[in-house]
Amino acid sequence: MALTNPARENKAGKQSATGEGNPRYERNGKHGRERCSISEVGLELLADCIHSVARAGDLLSFGKTSDGGAWVLSVYSNGKRYPEYASSSEELEEVLRRITEAAGS
């Protein structure tokens, strides 16, 4: 009996270790939106954001919206969730800057 991770199974029920062939990783820019890639954001900006949120004692999570067209960055602070959405790389940089500034204040 093979153990599987349901989070890594695609809709056809096939296991995917790398995300290849998994529809939730292949979605990019549905409805005419441009692809939003975290790899296009400056590493220093990303590191500064993570550091600022952690230094404030809060949690930062990264994910994709259910349609895969945008990133959602959520800050968890004092038991509350504060989500921010970005559907382009430029918006993602702006969200990272905004979260960094808020965490530093």
In a domain, 19, yes or no: no
The answer to whether 70 and 36 have CB atoms below 8 angstroms apart is: yes
In a domain, 59, yes or no: yes
| pLDDT given at position 34 | 57
| Domain extent at residue 92 | 34-104
For residue 39, which amino acid is it? S
pLDDT digits (tens, 9 = 90+) for 42-82: 899 999 999 999 999 999 999 999 988 899 999 999 999 99
pLDDT digits (tens, 9 = 90+) for 7-30: 444 444 444 344 443 333 333 444
In a domain, 21, yes or no: no
Quote the number of domains for the chain. 1
In a domain, 7, yes or no: no
The whole-angstrom separation of Cα 62 and Cα 98 is 15
In a domain, 90, yes or no: yes
In a domain, 8, yes or no: no
Q: Model-level pTM? A: 0.65
pLDDT reading at 88 higher than 70: yes
Confidence of residue 103 (pLDDT cuts 50, 70, 90): very high
- What token pair was written down for 67? 């349609």
